[in-house]
Amino acid sequence: MPRLDLQEKLYRLGIYVLSGCGVYFIFTAETADAIHLYLGLLIYVLAAVPGLVWARRSESSFPIFEVFMLTFVNTYALPLLTGHQQLALYDPDVITKAAVAVLLFQIVAVVTYRGMECRPKQTPFWTEEVISEEYSRFLSYGMTLTTIYTIISTFFDVIPYEALAVLRAVFYGIGIISTFVTCRRWGAGTLPLHDQYYFVFNLGVQFLFLISSLFLIAGISLLVLAMLGYISGSKRLPYVPLLLLLPVLALLHNGKGAMRAKYWDNSIRPTMSELPAFFSEWLSQGLPSTEKKDARVTAKLLERTSLFHIICLVVARTPAHEDYLYGETYQDIPGQFVPRYFWPDKPVAHVSTNTLARYYGLQSEEGSKKTTIAFGMLAEAYANFGFFGVGCLAFVFSGALRLVTGWGANSPTLSYGGLLLVMLMAWSFQVELTLSIWLTSLFQGCVAILGMPLLVRAFGI
């Protein structure tokens, strides 16, 4: 089937989904004020339109900006339209102001991205393959390396603490490239059947071992990256895997609280041999029972990804109760790029998140050392400079994405430029991070990914 037809099908599917869900929310939205319905629908439309434009025009092989904007559906639009339970804590005026902040970001981001012109780069960094297409099939074996590292780091305390961050960045980078490129080849129809089975096995093992820590987001991020690789190569959705996975993920999320209460509170970590019983128990905890008649499994999964109630918190308290931070969470960014080897007392990677959590009274000093609260870049920008900060963040962030994707518009996937775009694709849906951890973790991953061709060449590939 010609690729144009596949693009047209994906575009039409997007239109149908956008229209159908829009009509559904018009009649079922649980908003406290009529204006919130219109604001929620506007956020929803502005989040989806860039993706529809990409599906229709396919201006880039890597819909980085489009995926980033699409995350606003579940993080901001749906929590507002479905009446996220924590929104009841805020006055309607606060919710309206928070929605306006989100819309400001979206409008500035879309106008900036669509208004900038950028020509593809012709330098070797962007145009020359560092790993030939002939040998790209060997990247699937990178999944095995990542699987082995995942097993060792999850179940065995044999990696020295000093080497843990470096090894994590290296193997995470290898896993990102291997996952995305392999799924892209699968979507394009160039991945042999035996390699498909080999990849699915490794992906499944990694997913199960990653979520065995009860951090479900780590496994979901891996699956989303695989899906994006497939879509970018095929221009169609993997319907069957989606239909199979979504109910399972919803059950896992529904039972996560009970599992954490049992395993985390008692400092229990399942061994490899206990994993079958562990996951069986987890799924059973997620099943609705007579004692959970009002359990809405899928709704709870969406609530977990919400950032709208966080921006409501920041809007409600700033500057009425707490003054703006005036860049306090941004001043730690330069220091995060210094290797800990040269600065043993460097602040923790989530220093910005911890600062926000303590500033708004969500965590104590001790509590911030044990867990982190997702704030996202929009709430952080508002906490620092209000609406001005949100607008500036949208302009700089979307402008940077436009430059990089424009420069790499004609880059082969296995060039340095192409590998950089793959990395950005993997980070495009990490919207729960503050700017500091987003940038520094991206930098660490890029070092690992762009250094991987040297490793490949060292083995004669």
Averaged pLDDT, 107-127: 90
Tell which wins on pLDDT, 363 or 2.
363
User: Is the pLDDT score of 297 beyond 50?
Assistant: no
How high is the pLDDT of residue 254?
79
pLDDT digits (tens, 9 = 90+) for 19-34: 888 888 888 878 878 8
CA angle 422, 168, 439 (to 5 degrees): 55
CA distance 306 to 79: 6
**Which of 5-9, 175-179, 228-232, 360-364 comes out lowest in average pLDDT?**
5-9
Averaged pLDDT, 397-417: 88
- State which of 7-16, 301-310, 342-351, 384-393 shows the largest mean pLDDT: 384-393
In the chain, the percentage of residues whose pLDDT exceeds 90 is 20
How high is the pLDDT of residue 304?
55
User: Is the pLDDT score of 136 beyond 80?
Assistant: no
pLDDT confidence bin for 87, thresholds 50/70/90: confident
User: Is the pLDDT score of 449 beyond 90?
Assistant: no
How high is the pLDDT of residue 364?
67
CA angle 211, 216, 222 (to 5 degrees): 80
Question: Which pair of structure tokens corresponds to residue 151?
Answer: 């097993």
User: Is the pLDDT score of 104 beyond 90?
Assistant: yes
Distance from the Cα of residue 325 to its chain's centroid? 26
How high is the pLDDT of residue 131?
67
pLDDT digits (tens, 9 = 90+) for 306-332: 789 999 999 999 888 889 999 999 988
- State which of 45-59, 242-256, 389-403 shows the largest mean pLDDT: 389-403
Averaged pLDDT, 164-169: 70
Averaged pLDDT, 86-107: 93
In the chain, the percentage of residues whose pLDDT exceeds 70 is 86
User: Is the pLDDT score of 82 beyond 80?
Assistant: yes
**Which of 144-148, 157-161, 215-219, 236-240 comes out lowest in average pLDDT?**
157-161
How high is the pLDDT of residue 293?
42
pLDDT confidence bin for 135, thresholds 50/70/90: low
User: Is the pLDDT score of 166 beyond 90?
Assistant: no
Round the average pLDDT of the chain to a whole number and report it: 82
User: Is the pLDDT score of 371 beyond 80?
Assistant: no
CA distance 73 to 131: 37
Averaged pLDDT, 419-446: 85
CA distance 303 to 350: 23
Closest-CA residue to 374 (of 226, 268, 215): 215
Max CA separation in the chain (angstroms): 64
How high is the pLDDT of residue 165?
65
Averaged pLDDT, 430-438: 87
CA distance 433 to 446: 17
Averaged pLDDT, 440-457: 73
Averaged pLDDT, 154-174: 73
How high is the pLDDT of residue 458?
54
CA distance 148 to 140: 14
How high is the pLDDT of residue 21?
82
- Placement of tokens 């305390």 in the chain: 157
- Count of other CB atoms within 10 angstroms of residue 434: 27
pTM over 0.85: no
How high is the pLDDT of residue 461?
47
Specify the DSSP element, H or E, that contains 47: helix 34-57
pLDDT digits (tens, 9 = 90+) for 262-281: 887 777 888 888 888 988 98
ω into 319 cis (within 30 of 0): yes
Domain ranges of the chain: 137-302
306 torsion bin: left (phi>0), alpha (psi -120 to 50), beta (else): beta
pLDDT confidence bin for 132, thresholds 50/70/90: low
pLDDT confidence bin for 292, thresholds 50/70/90: very low
pLDDT confidence bin for 366, thresholds 50/70/90: low
Backbone angles phi, psi at 33, to 5 degrees: -140, 145
How high is the pLDDT of residue 333?
86
